[in-house]
Chains A and B, each alone.
Chain A
Amino acid sequence: MNLAPFFTWLEHSPLGEFIRSLGVWSYGVINLVHILGIMLLFGSILILDLRMLGAWRQVPLAVLSRPTTTMAQIGFILAVCSGLPMLSVKTTDYIGNPFLLIKFPAIALALVNVWLVHRTIAWREHRERELLPAENRRLAQGAALSLTFWLTAITSGRMIGYW
């Protein structure tokens, strides 16, 4: 898959032009927002996933699930809204960077996993009733996949700058 035309387009897009015109501190500030976003996203997901994997059983899942998913959504939005501008500054620099090609598919898989978990009967009914052991196992599988995908995305994302 050749991403070069898309990268060139993004770099020369109005977004790229705008971010480059913002001055010497802009990249650092946008980077900060990205870190805060990832922190919210992964911090919330980690607590929810560990709960679904069996930690803190005395805390009902129904109590944890709403605040953690809300905060994770806010974190994801912050990360996307800061990530695209960072990418647009010098997109062509990333042509041939292998970590980018790990990061974005990992995010895609993580989102598909979120969608699949939210479609399960276990997730849809966990606020109304006690879950059966098999349903808890289904959530635990989703949680394990979630941690794998998000950690892969974060790790490869961090490594982009070191290539």
Chain B
Amino acid sequence: MRAMLSAGLLMSALIVSPAFAHHGWGGQEEAITTLNGTVVQGVSLAGPHATMKIKAGNDVWDLTLAPPFRTERAGLKEGLIPVGATVTVRGNRNSDHNRHEMKTIYVKHGSTEYHVYPDRE
């Protein structure tokens, strides 16, 4: 009983600790940022999250999408948006403005829209 209690206390300490906020939304800005840019590296569905890179202005942005399965379910498959294509993306950028990284919730390519995180729009 005492062991279970201590385990419970430890768990709650871990859960409320901000360092354990899941991969990053904690480190992102609340406000939504819109970027227009050209694709430098197309969608990749490998790894813990899908990713792509775009160039907006003079900066290359690392776009973090949803986990691979969820990104694919949103219709955003590898190879659909070619390198060099113009896209509009929306998401929550890293609160550290020196890092051009954004958790991306929406991607628009031509007239096609991909709602990666519809519940966050």
Contacts and interface: CB of A to CB of B under 8 A. Distances in A.
B47 A27 contact: yes
A89 interface: yes
A73 interface: no
A152 to B, nearest CB: 16
Contact of B46 (A20, A31, A159, A162): A20
Contacts of B104: none
B47 A24 contact: no
Contact of B72 (A24, A159, A161): A24
A159 B17 CA distance: 13
Contacts of A20: 44, 46
Interface in A20-79: 20, 23-28, 31
Given A24-B72, A27-B68, A90 B46 contact: yes
A27 B45 CA distance: 10
Contact of A89 (B23, B47, B72): B47
B82 interface: no
B24 A90 contact: no
